[in-house]
Amino acid sequence: MAETGAPPLPPTSPAHALVSRAEQFVWLTARVLEQRRFAYHFLGGGADAVETALAAYRNEDDGYGHALEPDLRGPASQPLHVVHALRILDSIGRCGGQRVERVCRYLTSVSTREGALPAVRPGRRVDPSAPSAPVADDPSGELLATGPVVGLLHRNEVWHAWLFRATDFCWQAVDSLERTHPYEVGAAVAFLDSVPDRPRAEAAADRLGRLVREQRLAVLDPREPGAFPVTPAHASGERLLPHDYARTPGSLARAWFTDEEMARSLRHLEEEQQEDGGWPVRRHRWTPGTALEARPIATIEALRTLRAYGLLS
């Protein structure tokens, strides 16, 4: 029997209108992949359909390309596309088996000398990418790409030779973080939430949470976003809120925020649904197509976060 996602909300549910408006937005604007993902998470759709749609982005080198992550255009495989692919597979319970073995072969082939992943590889020079993802001739390994991949593989109990050095790299990167930025913190959280050494992860997360508050990397009051700085090279709206770090109540990042701070953050997330039913994208809009493709992704993730906190029941 095919695996299916959560059944649709009953029409009398208070959250039904929220999801119904989002559904209309998805059917009007989303790629097939996001349509299938929405159906899986909120309409009882099948996991097979999601995996089939995702396979269209896979390349012969076992990486993913073709603008799976909308900010990286063109067909070439990129580590950030793999991050996105693994998150999707994890969300449908398919992050394992031969499909992930093939992905690990790709990761091995593109890793740096220290066993880490660059966010963006040189690839094809003609492929456009966002200004925030510049292409370097000899890119270094980054926690931004390596942390989420390592975390997702550990979360799904995938064991591959690539993981050993990559895990060591992530520990070293997390332990050495001082001045940082929100997306790097998010990558660290993705790693710490799933790495097997839980006492060490909890201690590292505690230190990282103090950095987030000291450097004011989280908007603790959505009514006053201007009181929190924007990281250089990011758009004016790219300020992260508590729920952006702790996407589920079980995340280590949840302990960084009070109940009141998290409640304000989630209330703001719910109120961010726009008139057309979708959620906004805070990242820099460097070309119209990326914003169009990214908003359905943001919409699905917003609804999944609200559901994780019991606000879609």
Query: Which tokens hold the place of 39?
Result: 């159906």
Q: Can you state the angle between helices 288-308 and 16-29, rounded to 10 degrees?
A: 160
- Upper half-sphere CA count for residue 283 (Cβ side, 13 Å): 20
What average pLDDT is seen over the chain? 91
Q: pLDDT, tens digit, for every residue of 217-231? A: 999 999 887 778 777
Q: Are 251 and 245 in contact (CB under 8 A)?
A: yes
What pLDDT, on a 0 to 100 scale, did the predictor assign at position 216?
A: 94
Residues 6 or more apart from 223 whose CB is under 8 A from it? none
Residue 2: its pLDDT value, please? 62
Q: Between 9 and 42, whose confidence is greater?
A: 42
What's the rounded mean pLDDT across residues 103-121? 94
Q: Kindly indicate the confidence band of residue 130, based on its pLDDT and cuts at 50, 70 and 90.
A: low
Query: In 3D, which of 103, 109, 178, 179 has the Cα closest to residue 148?
Result: 103
Residue 123: pLDDT above 90?
A: no
| Res 1 pLDDT > 50 | no
Closest CA to 22 of 297, 310, 262: 297
- What is the DSSP code (8-state) at residue 75? S
Q: What angle do CA 223, 302, 239 make, to 5 degrees?
A: 40
Q: What's the whole-number mean pLDDT along residues 110-116? A: 94
Query: What number is the average pLDDT over the span 140-169?
Result: 96
Span 279-313, pLDDT tens digits: 999 877 767 788 899 999 999 999 999 999 999 87
pLDDT in tens, 171-222: 999 999 999 999 999 999 999 999 999 999 999 999 999 999 999 999 999 9
Q: What is the DSSP string of 251-294?
A: SGGGGGS-HHHHHHHHHHHHHT--TTSPPP--S---SHHHHHHH
Average pLDDT of the segment spanning 94-98? 95
Q: What DSSP state is assigned to residue 6?
A: P
Q: Which residues fall within 8 angstroms of residue 109, CB to CB, at 6 or more apart?
A: 61
Instruction: Count CB neighbours of 119 within 10 A.
Output: 25
Q: Which residue has the tokens 């159906």?
A: 39
> Contact, 2 vs 8, CB < 8 A?
no
Higher-confidence residue: 127 or 300? 300
pLDDT classification of 132: cutoffs 50, 70, 90 = low
CA-CA distance, 230 to 215, in Å (whole number)? 11
Tell me what pLDDT residue 53 has. 98
pTM assigned to the model: 0.93
Residue 135: predicted pLDDT: 64
**Residue length of the chain:** 313
Does the pLDDT of residue 267 top 50, yes or no?
yes
Percent of the chain with pLDDT over 70: 91
Contacts of 259 (CB under 8 A, 6+ apart): none
Enclosing H/E stretch for 53: helix 47-55
Of 27-36, 72-81, 116-125, 261-270, which gets the smallest average pLDDT? 116-125
Report the pLDDT value the prediction gives residue 246, as an integer from 0 to 100. Answer: 98
pLDDT digits (tens, 9 = 90+) for 7-38: 777 666 667 899 999 999 999 999 999 999 99
60: three-class secondary structure by DSSP: coil
* Cα–Cα distance for residue pair 152/145, rounded to 1 Å: 12
Average pLDDT over every residue of 156-172: 97
Where helices occur in 176-274 by DSSP H, the ranges are 182-192, 198-214, 242-245, 259-271
